[in-house]
Structure 1
Amino acid sequence: MHPNVYLPEEFLSHIEAILPEGESLSEFVSACQRPLRKSIRVNTLKTSVENFKQRAKHKGWKLEPIPWCDTGFWIEADESVTPLGNTAEHMAGLFYIQEASSMMPVSALFHQQDSNFGSVLDMASAPGSKTTQIAAKQNNKGVIVANELSASRVKVLHANIQRCGVSNCALTNFDGNVFGGWLPEQFDAVLLDAPCSGEGTVRKDPDALKNWSIESTNTIADVQKQLIESAFHALKPGGSMVYSTCALSKEENQQVCTHLLTTFTDAIESISLLDLFPDAHKALTPEGYVHIFPQTYDCEGFFVARFRKLSSVTPPAVKKRLGKFPFEKANTKLVNQISQSLDQELNIVLQDDSMIWARDKEVWLFPTNLEPMLGELRFSRMGIKIAETHKNGFKWQHQVATSVATGKEDKCLDIDVEQAREWFMGRDIRPNGSGKGSVLVRYDGFIIGLGKWVGNRIKNGLPRELVRDKNLF
């Protein structure tokens, strides 16, 4: 129990006035004082749900399906020795520790979607739970532009993208208000999981409401209204948009949606989420939005709304000043060299929906669908770095192993649990025998990195931001 959860009287009066019919304030308070059930999402870029279920059973993990996400589960696991975040499966990206209600916005975005979106904007994306969920839904096809205002949080976002094997992502570091003018009507889908007061997160953070006031809520709502307008301008006609928050107040939720609908009137329609999952009616608002209180499904409080853009609207006018793009598209000779070398050295075959670009001695793999945007906006990171050139060929990079390889290549080296522990701590390993060149390092059936033979040891190629040094499996 968390009896010390801080719930200001003013906040409780505010909530009591908006609770759905039949729900009491005492139920709300009791739910806020209960610890959250831990939940995870299986990363289907790395494994299937069925294979993960078998792995969980072997480990003694108990899984309960989350009704609005077909890859999400509440989990019961003994973490007294090893936290879930320090298991090999987590560090290799087989699953993402994600709060159950936060899986709903992406589920809503892809609900009743027959084909993959060619381009998706995740406007406020760190730490990456929803970005990686989108990438899994897309099966790394198309392109995701993942934006984050905070530069420090971009590093965390990139680390999670690397860990989960995402290859179709481009990162940006802007105020989300720029997208409507800089990339108008560019995206098939937009997710705005807006910065908010965090009222629904008290079960995870007992002090989340320490500075709560209705004045600060209204100030945040003003920012959200600006962001949702920008998101709508960035959306193509016919495209889908989801707006979500982990707030409970109508000021940050229904009223922001009303602002969007009244601003764009005939160019927009709201899409009901009644059939998003079997019990969605319990949290459905009259407008068709999902407004979750902590007691509704025993999870964090959340709000989700979906819209469709019906027609084009005039975007904000902007003046662009972009420097010279530092990359050049690889010529046929370099493309052939890269493809042949990857196949010969690692048995890896590049997919057709990506393109090779070069900067100095660096070789990068960009999503093909990113190309129309390259001269329109400054990106902090695009696609994945796959190699550096040198006089004797190519020095392959970590994400070749984790984002491009399938795990079925002939050039995989299987290692045991002790060697895997050493690997995740950033240390070189000494398997039996010796070899030459680069090698895909595989543990328990999944690839965990890229190494290089140096005599009878394998030099560790794990990026520093993915290294762990304690409480490992």
Structure 2
Amino acid sequence: NAAFEEYYKEQRIVHEEEWDAFMSVLRKPLPATFRVNASCRFLKDICSRLENDFRRSLENEVSDECGEYALSPLPWYPGNLAWHLNLSRKQLRKNPALESFHEFLKHESEVGNVTRQEAVSMVPPLFLNVQAGHHILDMCAAPGSKTFQLLEMIHQSKEPGLLPTALVIANDLKVQRCDVLIHNTKRMCTANLIVTNHEAQSFPSCSLAKDDSEAYKDHCKPQRLEFDRVLCDVPCSGDGTLRKSHDLWRKWSSSMGNEFHLLQVNIAMRGIALLKVGGRMVYSTCSMNPVENEAVVAELLRRSGSSVELLDVSTELRELVRRPGLGTWKVNDRGSWFQTHEDVPDSRKNVILPSMFPSSTSIHESHKVWHFK
């Protein structure tokens, strides 16, 4: 797709000398990855089998196909609980030498000990820094892999022998997707999850009574539920998923990111409104588009003023490969490039919004935005 290459070359999302390598990676199948449930009873046994049995046997059986490191832990995921298989999910299903390992993954996944999840999807929950007793909102939760990850975290953080006091509310707009969310999270067998069905940008204010009996007393009104953590993984153009969504190569256009921008801002602003003072929100997309990423973060800061600050997380997950986000970018509309909203024709100013453009003072002068690849 020539328009795709032109757009991202112009936005300079990678250095010029890296472009060919970048495109080469996008054309390769996405490797299979999975996580071991940190709170499961058989954690040590599963990790031992992965390290001592499957890792060694796979190196012998499929070394010609996928190199020396057929199976290895992701170095940035805490506790060596996330694993990377140097084969795609399609190759995993079709290779007879991998049948035993594939059956192991299927069984452990069905009982909730293992979750198959893309590596990039594992990143946002880790930066929430979930603590025991937190109230957490997952605003656009389906299909539920990140929600499951959050549930693992709250069960792992509890004191031994006690049930966690934390709460996860997982929301999604579509009823069918909520069904999938429930199906994927019920493997956790937890009482600490509530699934809701709302527009994320209009998620309602909730009340919380510490004691159910007190809620009915005239002198004791339920308190407004504010969240310690909010995961804002918004709907997006999804062009970061090209390695598995091959039809996107053909369908992609710059208008896709523009169309999602306002919805993303509105959802994220609602997430901020539901946060406690001192709480943390993580904003994430499956897109590489600065109109969906940096522009949204910049607009959140502009709208929120001094009530919200951008957090530098460069000291967290140090092994994760990252680079600073873009400080400048352009907006493309119907093949035309614009650097400021003033340049946009009057007939298109209701479509191409001021919030899509960089502010006059780059947010990088005082903060760093991390753009995860």
TM-score, normalised relative to structure 2 = 0.70
> What corresponds to 1:267 in structure 2?
307
Deviation of 1:24 (Å): 2.6
Mapping of residues 435-450 of structure 1, within 5 Å: none
Which of residues 49, 53, 60 in structure 2 aligns to 1:58? 53
Contact 2:172-2:199 at 8 Å conserved across structures:
yes
Mapping of residues 265-304 of structure 1, within 5 Å: 265-280=305-320, 282-285=322-325, 286=364, 287-293=367-373
Identity of aligned residues (%): 28
- Equivalent-residue separation in structure 1 for 2:225 and 2:194 (angstroms): 18
SS in 2 for 1:64: strand
Mapping of residues 59-458 of structure 1, within 5 Å: 59=54, 60=57, 63-70=71-78, 71-75=81-85, 79=93, 80=95, 81=99, 83=102, 87-110=106-129, 115-139=131-155, 140-179=164-203, 181=205, 186-280=226-320, 282-285=322-325, 286=364, 287-293=367-373
- Equivalent-residue separation in structure 2 for 1:290 and 1:197 (angstroms): 19
Distance 1:116 1:151, change over 3 A: same
Deviation of 1:173 (Å): 0.8
- Equivalent-residue separation in structure 2 for 1:53 and 1:23 (angstroms): 39
Write the deviation string for residues 329-361 of structure 1: whole angstroms up to 9, x where unpaired.
Answer: xxxxxxxxxxxxxxxxxxxxxxxxxxxxxxxxx
SS in 2 for 1:189: strand
Contact 2:205-2:225 at 8 Å conserved across structures:
no
Which of residues 15, 18, 24 in structure 2 aligns to 1:24? 18
Write the deviation string for residues 16-42 of structure 1: whole angstroms up to 9, x where unpaired.
Answer: 122233653211210101111111011
TM-score, normalised relative to structure 1 = 0.56
Deviation of 1:216 (Å): 2.4
Write the deviation string for residues 151-199 of structure 1: whole angstroms up to 9, x where unpaired.
Answer: 1111111111112333310000111012265577611100011111111
- Equivalent-residue separation in structure 1 for 2:126 and 2:42 (angstroms): 17
Which is richer in strand?
A: 1
Contact 1:273-1:284 at 8 Å conserved across structures:
no
SS in 1 for 2:45: helix
Deviation of 1:69 (Å): 2.0
Distance 1:89 1:29, change over 3 A: same
> What corresponds to 1:440 in structure 2?
none
> What corresponds to 1:11 in structure 2?
4
SS in 1 for 2:247: coil
Query: 1:203 corresponds to which letter in structure 2?
Result: R
- Equivalent-residue separation in structure 2 for 1:41 and 1:10 (angstroms): 36
SS in 2 for 1:192: strand
Which of residues 29, 35, 42 in structure 2 aligns to 1:41? 35
> What corresponds to 2:66 in structure 1?
none
Which is richer in helix?
A: 2
- Equivalent-residue separation in structure 2 for 1:55 and 1:141 (angstroms): 32
Distance 1:141 1:42, change over 3 A: farther
Deviation of 1:217 (Å): 1.2
Contact 1:45-1:165 at 8 Å conserved across structures:
no
- Equivalent-residue separation in structure 2 for 1:49 and 1:272 (angstroms): 33
- Equivalent-residue separation in structure 1 for 2:201 and 2:168 (angstroms): 18
Write the deviation string for residues 338-390 of structure 1: whole angstroms up to 9, x where unpaired.
Answer: xxxxxxxxxxxxxxxxxxxxxxxxxxxxxxxxxxxxxxxxxxxxxxxxxxxxx
Contact 1:192-1:228 at 8 Å conserved across structures:
yes
Contact 1:124-1:192 at 8 Å conserved across structures:
yes
Q: RMSD value over aligned CA atoms?
A: 2.3
Distance 1:167 1:19, change over 3 A: same
> What corresponds to 2:347 in structure 1?
none
Query: 1:201 corresponds to which letter in structure 2?
Result: T
SS in 2 for 1:292: coil
Distance 1:194 1:68, change over 3 A: farther
Size of the aligned set, in residue pairs, is 283
- Equivalent-residue separation in structure 1 for 2:285 and 2:42 (angstroms): 29
Contact 1:108-1:242 at 8 Å conserved across structures:
yes
Contact 1:43-1:164 at 8 Å conserved across structures:
no
- Equivalent-residue separation in structure 2 for 1:15 and 1:84 (angstroms): 40
* Structure 2 unmatched runs, 5+: 59-69, 156-163, 208-223, 326-363
SS in 2 for 1:210: helix
Distance 1:52 1:143, change over 3 A: same
Distance 1:215 1:142, change over 3 A: same
SS in 2 for 1:124: coil
Contact 1:117-1:189 at 8 Å conserved across structures:
no
Contact 1:274-1:284 at 8 Å conserved across structures:
no
- Equivalent-residue separation in structure 2 for 1:48 and 1:288 (angstroms): 40
Query: 1:65 corresponds to which letter in structure 2?
Result: P
